Structure 1
């Protein structure tokens, strides 16, 4: 299983403005779009935008993300989707005036972790490996040196959907360019460097 580009994808909550040009997907978000389930805030939001492609268990997906985050909770990145109660989103989220690399894992209810292994986040890359009920998420500024963001348990399934995701809970019109998207066999790189 190897795939590059956005052919064969389908929208979860299609926005009004989007285009595919070669290997680039450009999206402008709708107002108050988000993905979240219950934890702390007490609400369920399922109206964020995700352009998803099928992938069998045991894959690594990679994506380049470019955007200018200006409003609280602006976000863009990569989504793993099984159903409305089981999904993961990872990428940049603007929170209280600062940009963080963020991972939300939802297994019935959402959790949220943030980190800043690097601060230059207008143009970055994500790598997600899904295998046997586990998800490993990395981010990189240049596609060469990768920082681990999360190791998480996730609902085991023979097949998932994966692809670019963006939301703007506090406004409309976040413009994001996604490119260099690929799905391939699960990475066999070790999680930790030899000591």
Structure 2
């Protein structure tokens, strides 16, 4: 990581050492925009850096997800109405892998996570107006989680996020930050 990373909604408790970031979430934090529930939240913790053009961002995440909607992973944001967050979110009594794409309104896609959710990796590649979102249980095999249209212009911010809509106190560790030119791999290349 370099010093270009900054907070949106800085948590009260966090520290950064070398290539690791430890965060403890504040109470009732979230990112959500209108759909189904009708409310808007932009209080989650997001630690990111500005990017333009095509890129790949990757990170390793550790956390103990045990309360409804506990979540951590990656995020890409153009502004309060245009963003993507993805990672583990505790849902229906178990940690799930999922993503929320917000283009004015939020959607939510979620599924069963096939590994131990206490440790996982997330990768986001942007090429033009397309986002390729992948996850990994071992840092080597990268299944596709989502392919999305994200029509952005100019600068965005990419980084890590964590939220606890129903409580506070989720401890999350982010390691092995990687920001690089866009990986130019075939869509079904899982490496």
Normalised to the residue count of structure 2, the TM-score between the two structures is 0.96
2:94 is the alignment partner of 1:98: yes
Task: Name structure 1 gaps, 5 residues minimum.
Answer: none
Q: 2:146 aligns to what?
A: 150
Q: 1:128 aligns to what?
A: 124
Q: 1:66 aligns to what?
A: 62
Alpha-carbon distance in 2 for matches of 1:6, 1:173: 26
3-state SS of 1:109 partner: coil
Q: Is the 8 A contact 1:91 1:101 kept in 2?
A: yes
3-state SS of 2:187 partner: coil
C-alpha displacement at 1:55, in angstroms? 1.3
Task: Name structure 2 gaps, 5 residues minimum.
Answer: none
C-alpha displacement at 1:143, in angstroms? 1.3
Q: 1:20 aligns to what?
A: 16
Alpha-carbon distance in 2 for matches of 1:124, 1:22: 20
**Would you identify which runs of 4 or more consecutive aligned residues in structure 1 move more than 3 Å?**
none
> Given the alignment, which residue of 162, 165, 171 partners 1:166?
162
Alpha-carbon distance in 2 for matches of 1:117, 1:73: 15
Listed one character per residue, the Cα deviations across residues 75-112 of structure 1 (whole Å, up to 9, x for unaligned) are 00000010000000000000121111110000000000
2:183 is the alignment partner of 1:187: yes
3-state SS of 1:128 partner: strand
Q: 1:8 aligns to what?
A: 4
C-alpha displacement at 1:159, in angstroms? 2.0
Listed one character per residue, the Cα deviations across residues 101-150 of structure 1 (whole Å, up to 9, x for unaligned) are 11000000000001235131110101100121111100001111111100
3-state SS of 1:20 partner: strand
Alpha-carbon distance in 2 for matches of 1:164, 1:88: 11
Q: 1:56 aligns to what?
A: 52
Q: 2:174 aligns to what?
A: 178
Alpha-carbon distance in 2 for matches of 1:144, 1:184: 17
Normalised to the residue count of structure 1, the TM-score between the two structures is 0.94
Q: Is the 8 A contact 2:95 2:113 kept in 1?
A: no
Q: Is the 8 A contact 1:64 1:125 kept in 2?
A: yes
3-state SS of 1:111 partner: coil
2:82 is the alignment partner of 1:78: no
